[in-house]
Chains A and B, each alone.
Chain A
Amino acid sequence: MTVPATVAELVRQFRANGRIVIVGASLAGLRAAEALREEGFTGSLTIIGDEPYEPYDRPPLSKQVLKGWVPADHTTLPRLREVNAQWRLGVTATGLDRAAKQVRLADGEQIPYDRLLIATGTRARQWPNPDEAALDGVYTLRSRDDAAQLQKALAAPPSRVMVIGAGFIGSEVASVCRELDLPVTVVERGSAPLVGALGGVIGEIAAEMQRDHGVDLRCGLGVSSLEGDSGGHVRRAHLSDGTIIDADVVVASLGSIRNVEWLEGAGLASGFWGVGCDAGGRAFDINGVVTDSIYVAGDVARSPHVLYEYQFLAMEHWDNAVLGAEAAAHNMVNLEPHYRPHLLLPGFWSGQFGLNIKSVGVPPFGDEIVFTQGSVKERHFAAAYGRRGRIVAAVTFDHGKWLEYYGKLIEQSGPFPPPPPGWDQPPDMKPIPAEFPQPGVPTAIPDVVLTGHDPSERAAEFRPRRR
């Protein structure tokens, strides 16, 4: 047999009898499994998930579920097809042995694989003081169980809710509180809500929107401690300016942490920012060399994007999980000339205070913003973000139909300010600074250092930083 014929035969055999293991049984894991079968993979498929539930959808949790319209256990994801997998639910993957090609489970079992997909996503960052985090009435929101518990607490009803952190999830929680007519205080360390994702100009608009809806919004402040009663239930929060706020439900929405700990020691390019991979979902090893058998998708993946100067982007968005999983699955069972990149134009939506906020592209990549359509006063507008004369992102408030127009421009590296869409133009179309905060200084992240002196032995290794 010729070499190409041999390779083709190997691929055929792998598709027929190979062993694929997926770690992470949520949106990315499920859609990858379906795509693998769709691609004609008939070998053995194992899906490992530490939650006891079959894959469910998270976006409804902070919206219709919290509101009490839909029970948390009604969010199981629709299936696109049978996957005929061995499901190992309720068991955590604790380690990866790349030499033996095995995933270690918490119950001691080792699951062998030929190809592995890492889809372990992220988890909510907990309130940093463990004793305070353990008080009754203190919540985070990531899982179905979190949503069920928080919904119950909101229905009680509490006398006041305190939301710490005004990112998307914190803002959505605040919005639901107001819809339920609950008094709510939001404390945000930054200058405004959503400032990290959309910048200070849009943040100011979001701040006004929250206040108009009766949110007690306090920006530029932190919560320094939480105080409970003798029964262990949270009662009040102490703010960094000395103010004390009585609240019996506290929601810490402090962002997310990537689930990479189980990969420690596996020699992959994994760490604080996720698992590095190429645009085809193939994981990098610790040296930045692409692996052939390990793939990554969803919130935990981080890959270079052509539109953003090949910067490694981690996108914690629904369609990134779906489309990244499909691309990775395709590449897992195909040969190089047929590899597919995952070059999604990132997008996000959020429903809050009766408004639909959507964005396309990567707003924090821009440094300027210009309002291009509609009216800020009526909270019905579109704005574009630019960097060095190029449009890199756009945001809309109740103006979602126009997002496609901006998306096309971004994909084609269109000019900034963008050509006026010729509809509904505001009188002032002058770009102004978008006011993103300086990127935070990462702390206590394991450092990667180079080892070896001889070029032939140069490699990288983790050196966990000691404080």
Chain B
Amino acid sequence: MRIAVDLNRCQGYAQCVYLAHKDFRLTGQEALTYEPNPDDERRLQVERAAAACPVQAIVIDRLDGAKGSATS
């Protein structure tokens, strides 16, 4: 699955890190890095993380199952 985080919005609340620690990490206190292409197996965790983000900074792909060269 594909995601992006709008780090202008992100305020480092770390909810996402807590809920999907494989795909979201804090470097230091506030700087978030993430895996833009999480394993589909972890979809549920990542979706929970996105839902829990208090500022809705996590953008999730809405073309379910679209993969690779899906230039639709």
Contacts and interface: CB of A to CB of B under 8 A. Distances in A.
Contact of A80 (B27, B35, B59, B72): B59
A49 B9 CA distance: 28
A354 B27 contact: yes
A400 B7 CA distance: 10
Q: Is the interface of B mostly helix, strand, loop or mixed?
A: loop
A318 B6 contact: yes
Nearest to A34: B62
Contact of B27 (A59, A74, A322, A351): A351
Given A356-B12, A398-B29, A54 B34 contact: no
- Find the residue from B1, B31, B35, B63 having the highest chain A CB count within 10 A: B31
Contacts of A78: 1-4, 59-62
Given A54-B70, A59-B7, A351-B32, A401 B12 contact: yes
A159 interface: no
A211 interface: no
Nearest to A84: B72
A82 B29 contact: no
Contact of A77 (B4, B10, B11, B30): B4
Contacts of B4: 57, 77-78
Interface in B17-37: 27-37
Q: How large is the interface on B (under 10, 10 to 19, 20 to 34, 35 or more residues)?
A: 20 to 34
A318 B8 contact: yes
Interface stretch (A63-71, A242-250, A416-424): A63-71
Contact of A74 (B31, B36, B69): B36
Contacts of A319: 6, 8-9
B66 to A, nearest CB: 7
A83 B29 CA distance: 38
B16 to A, nearest CB: 14
Contact of B8 (A67, A70, A349): A349
Nearest to A355: B28
B12 A76 contact: no
Nearest to B31: A351
A401 B32 CA distance: 13
Given A79-B61, A80-B62, A347 B33 contact: no
B29 to A, nearest CB: 5
A401 B11 contact: yes
A393 to B, nearest CB: 14
B28 A354 contact: yes
Interface in A274-317: 317
Contacts of A105: none
Contacts of B28: 354-356, 398
A81 interface: yes
Contacts of A82: 63, 72
A356 B62 contact: no
Given A80-B59, A84-B72, A356 B8 contact: no
Nearest to B37: A74
Contacts of A74: 35-37
A80 B72 CA distance: 12
B28 to A, nearest CB: 3
A75 interface: yes
A380 B37 CA distance: 31
B30 A76 contact: no
A69 B35 contact: yes
Given A76-B2, A78-B4, A400 B12 contact: yes
B56 to A, nearest CB: 13
Contact of B11 (A60, A85, A351, A400): A400
A352 to B, nearest CB: 8
- Find the residue from B12, B30, B32 having the highest chain A CB count within 10 A: B30
Nearest to B30: A356
Contacts of A87: 71
Contacts of A59: 7
A60 B2 CA distance: 13
B9 to A, nearest CB: 8
A77 B28 CA distance: 26
A354 B27 CA distance: 5
A348 interface: yes
Q: Which 3 A-B pairs have the closest CB atoms?
A: A354-B28, A351-B31, A74-B37
Given A54-B69, A59-B7, 18 more contacts: A60-B34, A63-B33, A70-B35, A75-B36, A78-B1, A79-B70, A80-B62, A81-B62, A82-B63, A318-B7, A319-B8, A319-B9, A348-B8, A351-B7, A352-B31, A355-B30, A398-B29, A400-B30
Interface of B: 1-4, 6-12, 27-37, 59-63, 66, 69-72
20 contacts: A54-B69, A54-B70, A63-B33, A75-B36, A76-B36, A76-B37, A78-B2, A78-B4, A78-B61, A79-B63, A81-B62, A319-B9, A351-B33, A354-B27, A354-B28, A355-B28, A356-B31, A356-B32, A358-B8, A398-B28
